[in-house]
Amino acid sequence: MKSENFWYRSAGEGWSPALYDWFFYRTKRGLALRDGEEDVVYRLLDGGLRPDSRVVEYGPGTGHYTLPLARRCASVVAVEPSAEMREHLGERLAREGIDNVEIRDGLIEGGPGSPDRFDGALAVGPLYYVRDLLPALSAVGAGLKPGGWGVFTVPLRSLEGTWQLVSELLARRRAFLRSPAEATLTAERAGLEVLGTGLTGTSRGGLSLVLKTVTPPDPPSS
């Protein structure tokens, strides 16, 4: 009997940058999803980016958000498990003349992959494939400075989320859906204060919940 780990791909396997970009930039559904997602993500990012900010992005993929981040802050560390995506992103950054992005191999569960602590973290997509949300969000929080912000998407237990889960199965990936209350409560259990939320998707129930969080500031010294 095959184990599920034999059949399911890992988060870093089986990605095609060309197919990924084709869906989001060429298909009607992909364009609608991306437009709605951008509205929420950029609204929650507003005010968090400064010219001196150091940001870590988990699951940058082909760099849709990486390039705008790099142009608005001091530096970006892009943590990406897919070798194909890392190669594609590196080539794209070189073509655009952007030299303040460091690409690292890794998963969101492992945090930034170094003792560095960042002013902010962005994760659009990678939490879809995380079975246990608490340690992943704890790792994100541990990689942030006191008062650092996080913006991340969590797939919803909704009709649209279920359709997405089926499409992920066709690609041999397993997604894990949550309720809005579960996502918010887990973020709080990870020590993150939830400042705002928003829905992405093309239906009333939504596809994913976007959360904006902040890490608690250090207590005042006595």
pLDDT in tens, 29-88: 999 999 999 999 999 999 899 999 999 999 999 999 999 999 999 999 999 999 999 999
Q: What's the pLDDT score for residue 10?
A: 87
Q: What's the pLDDT score for residue 3?
A: 44
pLDDT category at 168 given cuts 50, 70, 90 is very high
pLDDT category at 1 given cuts 50, 70, 90 is very low
Residue 219 in any domain: the answer is: no
Residue 214 in any domain: the answer is: no
Residue 216 in any domain: the answer is: no
* CATH number for the domain harbouring residue 52: 3.40.50.150
Q: What's the pLDDT score for residue 210?
A: 98
Phi/psi of residue 34, nearest 5 degrees: -65, -40
Q: What stretches of 29-71 adopt beta strand conformation (E)?
A: 54-58
Residue range of the domain that includes 27: 15-208
Residue 217 in any domain: the answer is: no
Cα 88 to Cα 66: distance, rounded to the nearest angstrom? 12
Residue 181 in any domain: the answer is: yes
Q: Per this entry, what is the length of the chain?
A: 222
Residue 200 in any domain: the answer is: yes
Cα 38 to Cα 175: distance, rounded to the nearest angstrom? 21
pTM over 0.85: yes
Q: How many domains does the chain have?
A: 1
List residues bridging with 212 in a β-sheet: 151, 196
Structure tokens at 188: 């709080």
Q: Which residue has the tokens 């082909």?
A: 62
CB within 8 Å of 74: residues ≥ 6 apart: 51, 52, 53, 54, 100
Residue 9 in any domain: the answer is: no
Residue 5 in any domain: the answer is: no
Cα 40 to Cα 190: distance, rounded to the nearest angstrom? 23
